[in-house]
Structure 1
Amino acid sequence: MMKVKRALLSVSDKTGIVELGKALADLGIEIISTGGTMRTLKEAGVPVMAVQDVTGFPEMMDGRVKTLHPKIHGAILAVRDNPSHVQDMKDHGITPIDLVVVNLYPFQQTIAKPGVTLAEAIENIDIGGPCMVRASAKNNKYVAIVTNPAKYGAIIDILKKDGEFTDAYRLELAREAFQHTAQYDTAIAAYLSEQVEKGAAD
């Protein structure tokens, strides 16, 4: 097990994120964040570093491109006991991320609104979020991925007590994360199938 030193927080559902951010900061854990999450944390007085300060690139294309960068995904995917991965991190100035807290754009809620257009639905298909979730879940030996705000209390308690997570707990979080992205993609596929069928009917 390794101590959690750096966390990335990027959530659509802001429930409990300030309390989590404050707890992480109080434990001396560095926080990286994006867009609305970063503003919410800053307004609450939580010290936070912008993703663009890590990557060297601004958020662009109306927020479509924020976290899709080697300094984020390399920090998540690096195998910490693989010498070549460690050397790559050193060579490219990549600092590992140990905890990733992400939940996705509200696609299901968007398409449930009366009169929603296909374009509006498409804009609420998250890209960077699922990439981070899946990368973190894949690398669960080293990274804890949290997609459910109901888990924040347990995360805080574990970090206060131990400062790190067991392999078994990270694996459980990874399982939940893959369920989260699977349900998300299933909802998108079902919606697009409906649109295709409507087009065929027209």
Structure 2
Amino acid sequence: MNRVEVVDNNVPLRTALISVSDKTGLAELVVGLAETCPGMTVYSTGGTYRGIEQTITEHGLQDRLTLTQVSAYTGQPEMQGGLVKTLDFRIYLGLLSETYNAAHRQDLQRTGAEVFDLTVVNLYPFTAAAAAEGATLEDARANIDIGGPTMIRASAKNYLRVTAVCRPNDYPELLQQLRTNNGATRLDFRYRMARAAFTHTAEYDTAIAQHLQHTELDESLYRYGTTSGE
């Protein structure tokens, strides 16, 4: 287990991973990042990518933000249904690497991985989907997010360097932090965001566990395939 002793208090935000189901405040966040962190590269997926692209175009931010598809970075297209988009070694190397760890720096150089300073991620709306009128167990299952919680947890674990934001109502505080600190976040802010992030993923997993605990398996939802041997 690594025990880190040397960290940077102020970490300038140069790269971001943004992937959100709830797009509330996304346009305002993108404009704010362009204002406070000019030259930032943003990596994104799916509908979030399209929303950011539209904001960049509408506000003429092409000279201030660079937008890149995660699939272009990883070299892998998204799995059908969006089941795998961000679960990639180089992404997690870029989230979990420690600034003053020489072996980590060698790994980054060896793989050509990007170091990520900011993640803005929120999750599939499991609770709303499971509670919708007429929702089945399969509707609930399909809305269990895998990549999102993994990104949030990896980013929050490395609050020493990475800012993890998972709630739209935290966007204004993030932007104020960046305005105050010349495009950088401070350690105490990153730590507060990490606490909120782990609370968010814990509540999400609890909601899933409780729903499955109180929902009986309805086998009539499924047809058995031929590979089971039955």
Whether the TM-score (by the shorter chain) exceeds 0.5 is yes
Structure 2 SS opposite 1:48: strand
Q: Is 1:187 matched with 2:207?
A: yes
Shift of residue 157, structure 1, vs aligned partner: 1.6
CA separation in 1, counterparts of 2:82 and 2:117? 24
Q: Kindly, what percent of the aligned residue pairs are identical?
A: 43
Provide TM-score, normalisation by structure 2.
0.83
CA separation in 1, counterparts of 2:29 and 2:90? 24
CA separation in 2, counterparts of 1:8 and 1:145? 10
Give the root-mean-square deviation of aligned CA atoms: 1.4
- Match runs of 1:107-126 below 5 Å: 107-126=126-145
CA separation in 2, counterparts of 1:172 and 1:38? 27
Partners of 2:137 and 2:217 within 8 A in 1: no
The verdict on how the C-alpha distance between 1:198 and 1:65 changes in structure 2, with shifts beyond 3 A counting, is closer
Q: Is 1:20 matched with 2:33?
A: no
CA separation in 2, counterparts of 1:32 and 1:122? 27
Cross-structure match for 1:56: 75
Shift of residue 52, structure 1, vs aligned partner: 0.6
User: Any stretches of 5+ residues in structure 1 without a counterpart?
Assistant: none
Shift of residue 198, structure 1, vs aligned partner: 8.0
Cross-structure match for 1:3: 12
User: Any stretches of 5+ residues in structure 2 without a counterpart?
Assistant: 1-9, 220-230
Shift of residue 25, structure 1, vs aligned partner: 2.6
Shift of residue 161, structure 1, vs aligned partner: 2.5
Which sits farther off after the overlay, 112-121 or 85-94?
Answer: 112-121
CA separation in 2, counterparts of 1:20 and 1:53? 23
Partners of 1:21 and 1:31 within 8 A in 2: no
Structure 1 SS opposite 2:80: coil
Q: Is 1:42 matched with 2:53?
A: yes
Partners of 2:71 and 2:78 within 8 A in 1: yes
- Indicate the structure with greater helix content: 1
Partners of 1:25 and 1:31 within 8 A in 2: no
Which sits farther off after the overlay, 26-35 or 136-145?
Answer: 26-35
CA separation in 2, counterparts of 1:2 and 1:36? 28
Shift of residue 70, structure 1, vs aligned partner: 1.2
Ranges of 4+ aligned residues in structure 1 off by more than 6 Å: none
* Structure with larger Rg: 2
Cross-structure match for 2:226: none
Q: How many matched pairs? A: 199
CA separation in 1, counterparts of 2:179 and 2:111? 32
Shift of residue 95, structure 1, vs aligned partner: 1.1
Cross-structure match for 1:30: 41
Cross-structure match for 2:195: 175
Structure 1 SS opposite 2:81: coil
Cross-structure match for 2:103: 84
Q: Is 1:95 matched with 2:104?
A: no
Cross-structure match for 2:225: none
Shift of residue 68, structure 1, vs aligned partner: 0.1
